[in-house]
């Protein structure tokens, strides 16, 4: 709402300690990856509960836009539902239908942990606080980007960088690839929705404000490397001749 960039770390591990470390590290949200990981709803429920009250909001990329997946995700506390491979408008309509209570949608009231997480007024406020993210990952989805972005209830449209290349057969920078991204961008911003993409695009492409950041393994690797470099700045540089007094030893 303030026009600031939003960044989320990606979670694929069921370890609550790792989840909490990421949830309190400065991310705005956590992209809990249930499409391409073995995470179960029991795993994710425990993770969200273990770090209730954390700054990062829990978003779940569900395996598919089914009633079961979406309702389980919101019942365990997801405040964002990420729908993969949207190239059929019914997918995103299902997301809105089953993530939102009547009269907006058809979400039923269950016995999930949402009430314990967010309070007794959850039912009254849920529809205004659960965000729907539509992922466009192939040329078919890009071709209907305007319809996807204009669908009532959609908040964010995500241009999936890797899969756009995989499905189109073109690389970033090639005209055909860039045309797909431009189509998604123009449709999303034209509909007044937020435009999303990978964190690598934050400073290289205009119009994007919602970003998927690295996963826990990449963050651990980067943290370890930074820690080792701090104590030994030359550690990762190739070995060379002995340094000359007065010169940079790491050159």
pLDDT at 149: 98
What is the average pLDDT across 8-15? Answer: 97
The least confident of 92-106, 109-123, 178-192, 231-245 is 231-245
Q: How far from 107 is each of 65, 91, 135, CA to CA, in Å?
A: 13, 15, 22
Residues composing the chain? 251
- According to DSSP, residue 128 is labeled H
The whole-angstrom separation of Cα 184 and Cα 18 is 34
The whole-angstrom separation of Cα 19 and Cα 210 is 20
The whole-angstrom separation of Cα 168 and Cα 87 is 14
Catalytic residue of the set 26, 36, 162, 176: 36
pLDDT at 250: 67
Contact 157, 148 (CB under 8 A): yes
- According to DSSP, residue 200 is labeled G
Those residues whose C-beta lies under 8 Å from the C-beta of residue 173, and which sit 6 or more positions away, are: none
Active site (annotated) includes residue 36 = yes
Q: Is the model's pLDDT at 162 over the cut of 90?
A: yes
Note the pLDDT tens digit of each residue in 46-85.
Answer: 999 999 999 999 999 999 999 999 999 999 999 999 999 9
Helices H, strands E: what count in the chain?
11, 8
What is the average pLDDT across 104-108? Answer: 96
**Best CA proximity match to 153, nearest among 221, 89, 57:** 89
The whole-angstrom separation of Cα 241 and Cα 188 is 55
pLDDT at 1: 81
pLDDT at 251: 60
∠ CA 191-192-198, rounded to 5°: 100
């Amino acid at each position: 709402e303030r026009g600031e960039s939003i960044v989320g770390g990606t979670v694929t591990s069921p370890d609550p300690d790792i989840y909490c470390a990421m949830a309190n590290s400065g991310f705005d949200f956590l992209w809990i990856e249930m499409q391409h990981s073995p995470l179960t709803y029991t795993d994710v429920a425990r993770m969200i509960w273990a770090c209730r009250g954390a700054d990062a909001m829990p978003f779940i990329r569900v395996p598919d836009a089914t009633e079961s997946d979406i309702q389980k995700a919101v019942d365990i506390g997801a405040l964002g539902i990420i729908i993969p491979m949207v190239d059929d408008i019914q997918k995103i309509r299902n997301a809105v239908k089953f993530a939102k209570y009547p009269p907006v949608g058809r979400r039923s009231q269950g016995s999930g942990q949402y009430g314990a997480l967010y309070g007794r007024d959850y039912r009254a406020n849920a529809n205004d606080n659960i965000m729907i993210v539509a992922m466009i990952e192939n040329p078919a989805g890009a071709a209907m980007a305007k319809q996807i972005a204009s669908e009532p209830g959609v908040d964010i449209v995500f241009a999936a960088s890797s899969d756009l290349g995989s499905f189109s057969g073109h690389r970033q920078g090639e005209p055909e690839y860039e045309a797909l991204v431009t189509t998604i961008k123009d449709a999303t911003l034209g509909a007044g929705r937020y435009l999303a993409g990978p964190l690598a695009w934050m400073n290289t492409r205009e119009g994007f404000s919602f970003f998927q950041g690295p996963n826990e393994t990449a963050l651990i690797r980067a943290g370890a490397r930074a820690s080792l470099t701090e104590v030994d700045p030359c550690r990762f540089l190739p070995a060379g001749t002995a340094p000359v007094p007065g010169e940079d030893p790491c050159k």
